[in-house]
Amino acid sequence: MSENDETPKQVTGNAGLFYVSYQLAKRGWNVLPTSRNSKGPDLFIYSQDGKKMYKIQVKALTKHNNINPGKMDSWLMNDVVIICTNVYSNPEIYIAKPKQFIVNKHGWIQKDTYAKFKDNWKIIK
C-alpha cells in the first residue's frame, strides 16, 4: 500500500495502531489494543511489573499532515496521544499528553505544532 492508493481510513488506522504497538513492545511494554472505532483508548499499556499503566489514543496518517482530532473529549480521556504519520512508507511518531496539542479555531491540529513531539518516548516512563 502507499499513500497514493485509495486506502480506507480504517486500514490506515490499523496500520498505525499496530506499528505503535510494535514500537511500544520493543520498549518493554505489554500492549493491549482495544476495539477499534469505539469511544475510549485505542491501547492500554502496562509495565512488566504491572505497576505502571497508560491509556493511549493513536492517530494514524498516510503523510505528515494537519489532523482533525474529532471530539477532544475522546483525546482527553487518555494519558497519552501518539500520532503516527507516513504509515506506509517511513513511519514517524509524535507523542504528547492530550492537552499539549494545540487545536486551532477551526478544530484542527496543525502539523507544525506537533512536530516538536517527534520521538518523545520519554513521556512514557
Q: How confident is the model at residue 5 (pLDDT cuts 50, 70, 90)?
A: low
Q: Is the pLDDT of residue 38 over 80?
A: no
Q: Is the pLDDT of residue 27 over 60?
A: yes
**Please, what is the average pLDDT of the chain?**
91
The CATH-assigned architecture of domain 9-123 is: 3-Layer(aba) Sandwich (3.40)
So what's the pLDDT on residue 113? 93
Query: Which residues are within 8 A (CB) of 124 and not within 5 positions of it... i.e. 6 or more apart?
Result: 24, 27, 29, 45, 54, 80, 95
The reported pTM is 0.90
Q: How confident is the model at residue 86 (pLDDT cuts 50, 70, 90)?
A: very high
So what's the pLDDT on residue 44? 97
Q: Is the pLDDT of residue 64 over 70?
A: yes
More confident residue, 33 or 38: 33
Closest by CA position to 3, among listed 83, 117, 66, 90: 90
110-120 per-position pLDDT tens digit: 999 999 999 99
Q: Is the pLDDT of residue 71 over 80?
A: no
User: How many CA atoms are closer than 13 Å to the CA of 110, on its beta-carbon side?
Assistant: 6
